[in-house]
Amino acid sequence: MNALLTVAGQEIRAGIRNRWVVATTLILAALALSLVLLGSAPAGTTGASPTAVVVVSLATLSIFLVPLIALLLSFDAVVGEAERGTLLLLLAYPVARWQVVLGKFVGHTAILALATVVGYGAAALLLFLRDAAEPGDWAGFAGLIGTSILLGAAFVALGSLASIAVRERATAAGLAVALWLVFVLIYDSALLGLLVVDQGQVVSGGLFDALLLLNPTDVYRLINLTGSGAASLLSGMSAPGEADQLSTKLLYGALCAWILVPLGLGVLVFSKRQP
């Protein structure tokens, strides 16, 4: 455990030296604060509170931004060290390979979590100072922060797996871009095209729900944009398919699986990799 924390601490220190922590925090804070200042205009017509509007807006934009930041943090976690020749030195220390993978994952996730809490927390503080939030809105905002961290962790795990599976940093970068394009842009477009072609003949409500669970960004979207009446009203979404099959526990479980499965595969592949 000490070795794991040492590796994680090294990644955090590297993130501080490389300005990743500051840059990520500033990006998320600027996004969140701009939405607080400019994004509450629809509240007057929908009757929803400004906080609900901010939660929906942040959740929508986080789907694009958080996975990208997570992949940029993690795509060269292993392959970058291999190219620089420091991976052999790291493995020469009394540290297990699984500790290397988990330590880097913990370090990168901690950077992203810190940036998310501080960045989105600044927006929450501004909402509090402006007295723009109702008491029931804070649970939704806290859920947004928590699920954003989980979404980031899922893509950190995917980026780490990509970094372990290839031998060149350029290949890992291309794979990271491909992962972002597939999960953030292409998957939903392909799913929509499938629904149009199928016309409800094969893809039933239950199968559609299962297909949504195969994309971590869709799981995140369902948690934050269909979790409350205000969010559903503002986002124009309702629970798809058979709503009772997609309980909150199932959605959170699916998001956690998107963290654990790539991470487990990364540990397995790295255990067989020659430095």
Cα(first)–Cα(last) distance of the chain, in Å? 23
Residue 51: predicted pLDDT: 75
Distance CA 41, CA 37 (A): 9
Q: Is the pTM of this model over 0.85?
A: yes
Q: What is the pLDDT of residue 235?
A: 45
pLDDT of the residue at 165: 93
Residues 11-22 have pLDDT tens digits of 999 888 888 788
* Greater pLDDT, 50 or 21: 21
Q: What confidence category does residue 114 fall into, taking pLDDT thresholds of 50, 70 and 90?
A: very high
Identify whether the C-beta of residue 239 lies closer than 8 Å to the C-beta of residue 246.
yes
pLDDT score for 136:
67
Give the pLDDT of residue 199.
Answer: 76
| Mean predicted confidence (pLDDT) in 182-190 | 94
Tell me which range, 22-36, 123-137, 240-254, is most confidently predicted by mean pLDDT.
22-36
What mean pLDDT do residues 259-265 have? 96
Q: At what angle do helices 50-74 and 216-225 cross, to 10 degrees?
A: 160
As a three-state string, the secondary structure of 198-242 is HCCCCCCHHHHHHHHHCCHHHHHHHHHHCCCHHHHHHHCCCCCCC
